[in-house]
Amino acid sequence: MSASKSASDFVADHIRTLPKSGIRKFFDLVNTMDDVISLGVGEPDFTTPWCIRESGLYSIERGHTAYTSNLGMLSLRKAICSYVERHYGASYDPARECIVTVGVSEALDLTLRTLLNPGEEVIYTEPCYVSYPAEIVMAHGVPVPVTTRVEDGFAITPEALAAKITPRTKAILLNFPCNPTGATMPMKYLRAVADLAKKHDLVVITDEIYSELTYDEEHASIASLPGMTERTIFLHGFSKAFAMTGWRVGYACGPKEIIDGMMKIHQYAIMCASTVAQEAALEALNRGEKEMLKMRESYRLRRNFFVKELNELGLPCLMPKGAFYAFPSIKGSGMDDVEFASELLKREHVAVVPGSAFGPGGTGFVRCCYATSREDLKEALARMKRSGLCTTA
């Protein structure tokens, strides 16, 4: 018997057909240039505040190098639940309704794998973080995008959501403030989404990783609305607000039966999040708020400056209410977003992310991260102007 299969045949169908994230060729090109000003990053430009870094060092110094409980250190879960109650108005039992994960990405993966039977549908907004459809597929679910529109401030309207609900819908996945649009949800929409979830008996998964970074109004979580705590999985972490992307700490709070299911997968696949990172995260909650607020203020100022300049440049852009992204329309250039980004990179060595990397709903837009030094933002704007790509034809 001769070997008739190639190695790629060994890869499961649903993984082989899964697209790789983003536009590889474009990013490979970015990485070959050394004088690029990149507005293409998805993380803070701050280093983790020193008190948090120092707690990590202290943790290692004391020899805290063993596993923690599968759910995460109880002291951290207690701090998380108290933080969530204080800032988001939803209360959870740290012993059974909270799990510490390796970033929000793991928390979302656990949630989807716990909730979904093969073929069940998850509605999510698009443009969105690149992992969402892939994570749904990896959990054998069916991704059902709802395109959010610039006219609605990139929020999801109850009508658009209702139109996508079918008997196979299991969950709605929200991400506000949104990567890549910076959109937040007006309270009336949030209530309407909650009502639809209750009416159709759906689970709401809410990724609120950018929630501390809202600039114009108080952030509100759907988890805190009446009758929602029991059907909501609240996902959050430390990466964005506390500038801790590389530490990989996130968490999920939700009904104990669902957390229990998530814990099983986490226990078998991961064991526990890194002990050092958990101790640093605890410090972030206990003493990191002042530094966090300073960083937020710095993003707010850069947002105000950058978005105003983008509009003056000829790239219409809504004032994003949260996160650290501006999402201007490039339709006036007469190009599509991938062409626009490639041309801008080639002509002026400025990297932005084509909106279609975040799903077809992002076509015609580009994502610019303003968590970049003011000097670089100014230089990027000057180069964009010089590129001749930004003035409407």
Q: Which residues contact other proteins (rule: CB under 8 A)?
A: 21-22, 27, 30-31, 36, 38, 40-43, 45, 47, 129-131, 179, 297, 301, 304-305, 351, 353, 357
> Please, which residue, 253 or 350, has the CB nearer to other proteins?
350
Query: Which residue shows structure tokens 């105000």?
Result: 304
Work out how close the CB of 358 gets to other proteins at its nearest, in angstroms, rounded to a whole number.
8
> Please, which residue, 130 or 330, has the CB nearer to other proteins?
130
Report residue 167: phi and psi, to 5°.
-60, -20
Residue 3: strand, helix, or coil: coil
Cα pseudo-dihedral 216, 218, 222, 223, rounded to 10: 150
DSSP conformation letters of 208-233: -TTTT-B-SS----GGGSTTTGGGEE
C-alpha distances (whole Å) from 226 to each of 39, 108, 124, 153 are 39, 23, 22, 25
Give the rounded distance of the alpha carbon of 254 from its chain centre.
19
Work out how close the CB of 92 gets to other proteins at its nearest, in angstroms, rounded to a whole number.
28
Omega before 180 within 30 of 0, i.e. cis: yes
Sheet order of strands, 169-174 included: 98-101, 250-253, 232-237, 203-207, 169-174, 121-126, 142-147
Do residues 368 and 352 touch, judged by C-beta distance below 8 A? yes
Work out how close the CB of 268 gets to other proteins at its nearest, in angstroms, rounded to a whole number.
27
364: left (phi over 0), alpha (psi -120 to 50) or beta: left
DSSP H helices in 101-202: 103-115, 131-138, 158-162, 187-199
Which tokens in the block code for residue 209? 């990783």
Work out how close the CB of 46 gets to other proteins at its nearest, in angstroms, rounded to a whole number.
11
> Please, which residue, 237 or 254, has the CB nearer to other proteins?
237
Work out how close the CB of 122 gets to other proteins at its nearest, in angstroms, rounded to a whole number.
19
Work out how close the CB of 36 gets to other proteins at its nearest, in angstroms, rounded to a whole number.
6
Residue 367: strand, helix, or coil: strand
> Please, which residue, 213 or 220, has the CB nearer to other proteins?
213
> Please, which residue, 22 or 314, has the CB nearer to other proteins?
22
> Please, which residue, 326 or 353, has the CB nearer to other proteins?
353
Work out how close the CB of 40 gets to other proteins at its nearest, in angstroms, rounded to a whole number.
4
> Please, which residue, 272 or 371, has the CB nearer to other proteins?
371
> Please, which residue, 93 or 297, has the CB nearer to other proteins?
297
Give the rounded distance of the alpha carbon of 278 from its chain centre.
20
**d(C-alpha 331, C-alpha 380), whole Å:** 19
> Please, which residue, 179 or 275, has the CB nearer to other proteins?
179
Work out how close the CB of 9 gets to other proteins at its nearest, in angstroms, rounded to a whole number.
30
Work out how close the CB of 273 gets to other proteins at its nearest, in angstroms, rounded to a whole number.
20
